[in-house]
Amino acid sequence: MYSQRLNLGAGASGPRPQSRAPEEQAVTPRQTRNRDRADRGIPEATVARLPVYLRALHALQDRGVATVSSEELAAAAGVNSAKLRKDLSHLGSYGTRGVGYEVEYLVYQISRELGLTQDWVVAIIGVGNLGRALAGYGGFASRGFRVAGLLDADEAIVGQEIAGMTVEHIDRLEDVIADRGVSIAVIATPAAAAQGVCDRVVAAGVTSVLNFAPVVLSVPDRVDVRKVDLSIELQILAFHEQRKAGGPGDYEPVGDGDRPSGTAQYVEAVEL
Ligand SMILES: NC(=O)c1ccc[n+]([C@@H]2O[C@H](COP(=O)([O-])OP(=O)(O)OC[C@H]3O[C@@H](n4cnc5c(N)ncnc54)[C@H](O)[C@@H]3O)[C@@H](O)[C@H]2O)c1
């Protein structure tokens, strides 16, 4: 058993460390990723597929499967097996001929690569419909993300209890980030407020932002922004539906051309 594997599920079943040494708090996801990958050159397309492999591996673990062939894992993840083997080779994982990959160790390797073997502290800014849903989503903790702050500008919302946390006023943003070691900010405000919020979290030292607002955020180079836009995903599905129905236009896959199936993986990064 790998100790880091245990840590992945700790949020759901037991307490996580509430505080870290200052030098540990200062490490951001980006810094860790850059440090770990600096010399290995793992392609971003591979990185984007690792969470998909991880999800498939967790499903195998849940079924008590100890080893898996590249073909089985590739089928479960919706990619071809050659691409899967190539992806995993970037992690130094080649499997064993005739046996395949050891599920538990591969979970550990991918989790380590994605920075999931440690806790990431998250603040959700904008606690409306979406912010509430995100705050109540149990899946973050089991994947190593701990929501440590809910902030909103609306006095009627501030002070409310949501998912066991009290919503704080946005005026406290900088203090919350500093005091709780927030390294990822989730922005779920209206579009008009998003850039201002983003500027503040960046000024407070956050270098990873997950943006749900329908606006392209300007950030310094050192900051990673991932944008989630469900309407774009629906438009992509509409495009494919149209093609299935024999609608206009021949389709040429662009870019990677071998993206895994399933909707959750289709969350696009329009900025990085
Ligand atoms: N990405 C997606 O797929 C998706 C899906 C639904 C909604 N959205 C977007 O997510 C955002 C939130 O949607 P919603 O339905 O929850 O809206 P909402 O109006 O219910 O919630 C927005 C919250 O942000 C708060 N807020 C406004 N200005 C703020 C500020 N400066 N600082 C802190 N909080 C502030 C409001 O008080 C409100 O509670 C919107 O931008 C919406 O367009 C995205």
Q: Is 124 in the pocket of ligand 1 (CB under 6 A)?
A: no
Would strands 161-162 and 165-166 be described as parallel, antiparallel, or unpaired? antiparallel
Q: How far apart are CA 104 and CA 2, in angstroms?
A: 8
Tens digit of each residue's pLDDT (9 = 90 or more) over 130-139: 999 999 987 7
Phi-psi domain of 11 (left: phi exceeds 0; alpha: psi -120 through 50; beta: other)? alpha
Domain boundaries, the chain: 24-113, 120-228, 231-266
CATH architecture of 120-228: 3-Layer(aba) Sandwich (3.40)
State which of 157, 162, 189 you would mutate to test the pocket of ligand 1, scoring each by most atoms of that ligand within 8 A of its C-beta: 189
Q: Which residues contact 22 (CB under 8 A, 6 or more apart)?
A: none
Q: Is 129 in the pocket of ligand 1 (CB under 6 A)?
A: yes
Give the 3-state secondary structure of residue 233. helix
- Do the domains 120-228 and 24-113 match in fold? no
Q: Is 213 in the pocket of ligand 1 (CB under 6 A)?
A: yes
Protein residue closest via CA to atom 20 of ligand 1: 128
Q: Which atom of ligand 1 is nearest to the CA of 233?
A: 3
ipTM over 0.90: yes
Contact between residue 169 and residue 160 where contact means Cβ atoms under 8 Å apart: no
Q: Which atom of ligand 1 is nearest to the CA of 196?
A: 31
Residue 139 counted as an annotated binding residue: no
- Tokens representing 268 are 């696009």
Nearest to 152 by CA among 132, 123, 126: 126
Nearest to 60 by CA among 45, 47, 75: 75
Strongest mean pLDDT among 25-39, 47-61, 87-101: 47-61
Q: Is the pLDDT assigned to residue 123 strictly greater than 80?
A: yes
Report the predicted TM-score, pTM, of the whole model to 2 decimal places: 0.69
Q: Which residues contact 71 (CB under 8 A, 6 or more apart)?
A: 81
Q: Which residues contact 216 (CB under 8 A, 6 or more apart)?
A: 227, 270, 271
Q: How far apart are CA 223 and CA 206, in angstroms?
A: 8
Tens digit of each residue's pLDDT (9 = 90 or more) over 93-122: 888 888 899 999 999 999 888 887 778 899
> What pLDDT sits at residue 248?
60
Q: Is the pLDDT assigned to residue 249 strictly greater than 60?
A: no
Q: Which atom of ligand 1 is nearest to the CA of 127?
A: 39
CATH number for 24-113 (one of 1.10.10.10, 3.30.450.40, 3.30.70.20, 1.20.1090.10): it is: 1.10.10.10
Q: What is the DSSP string of 150-208?
A: EEES-TTTTT-EETTEE-EEGGGHHHHHHHHT--EEEE-S-HHHHHHHHHHHHHTT--E
- Tokens representing 76 are 């479960």
Structure confidence at residue 30 as a pLDDT band (50, 70, 90): low
Determine the distance from the C-alpha atom of residue 199 to the mean position of all C-alpha atoms in its chain, rounded to a whole number. Answer: 21
Residue 64 counted as an annotated binding residue: no
Secondary structure, 3-state, 65-115: CCEECHHHHHHHHCCCHHHHHHHHHCCCCCCECCCEEEHHHHHHHHHHHCC
Q: Is the pLDDT assigned to residue 257 strictly greater than 70?
A: no
State which of 150, 151, 152 you would mutate to test the pocket of ligand 1, scoring each by most atoms of that ligand within 8 A of its C-beta: 152
Nearest to 7 by CA among 101, 120, 123, 92: 120
> In one letter, which amino acid is 130?
L
Strongest mean pLDDT among 6-10, 61-65, 140-144, 264-268: 61-65
